[in-house]
Homo-oligomer: A and B are copies of this chain.
Amino acid sequence: MPTRPTITAFKASPDRGQGLARDMRVRWALEEVGQPYDVRLVTFAEMKEPAHRALHPFGQIPTYEEGDLVLFETGGIVFHIADTRPGLLPDEPNARARAITWMFAALSTVEQSIVELQFVMFAERGKSWQDERRAMVHDRIRARMGELSQRLGDADWLDGAFSAADLIMASVLLRTRGSGLLDEYPNLAAYVARAEARPAYQRAFAEQLAVFEASQAAG
């Protein structure tokens, strides 16, 4: 039986409990494999202090502590959970390798422009070029979504049964919801809806929302 892990999450998430902070991906993975866990909440100030940076060199959340093991990057944490507990990666070696390639694809090829959209919306607020840049980044996101939509077709999941690849890809696509782009690709919107309907997603979502609500009540 693996050791019960502790993760970190925002004390008051900037997304106001919409489930877009990256601890959500780790919570969801832990719920999928039925692994109970503890959560340590950190403020923005605490994330930048040496104690937290010893766990996470880039001063972010989530981190993951399990006995002597410390991990700090969402993709690496979700991979570790999937690699050490049954349920999130296929046993057949080729299918497993393909699922892992999709995890990397979601977090680099697909998420690149989706993260960039956050910079346009926040760091470039008030710049004369913001509208033009937003349109350019939207088109970059559409290019990737169009290719992904083609590949997915009418399949339920990226490659056979639900896996850590779908967990990561759906989490990446979810971040575009405010832009309306996802609705331009009905099969991707349905894919994300299927992911959100999973009981493990629902439990993880409720947990992170409860943290945000508690922060507001205390505030």
What CA separation (Å) do A133 and B101 show in the bound complex?
32
A100 B74 Cβ-Cβ under 8 A: no
Report B-chain residues with C-beta under 8 Å of the C-beta of A77.
101
Nearest CB in chain B to that of A99: its residue: B76
On whether A74 and B104 interact (CB within 8 A), knowing A68-B94, A94-B69, A123-B136, the answer reads yes
Q: Does A79 contact B (CB under 8 A)?
A: yes
Q: Does A202 contact B (CB under 8 A)?
A: no
Copies in the complex: 2
On whether A108 and B108 interact (CB within 8 A), knowing A97-B69, A151-B57, the answer reads yes
Q: Does A111 contact B (CB under 8 A)?
A: yes
Q: Does A80 contact B (CB under 8 A)?
A: yes
Report B-chain residues with C-beta under 8 Å of the C-beta of A119.
116, 140
Report B-chain residues with C-beta under 8 Å of the C-beta of A133.
129, 133
Report B-chain residues with C-beta under 8 Å of the C-beta of A73.
101-102, 104-105, 108-109
What CA separation (Å) do A62 and B161 show in the bound complex?
26
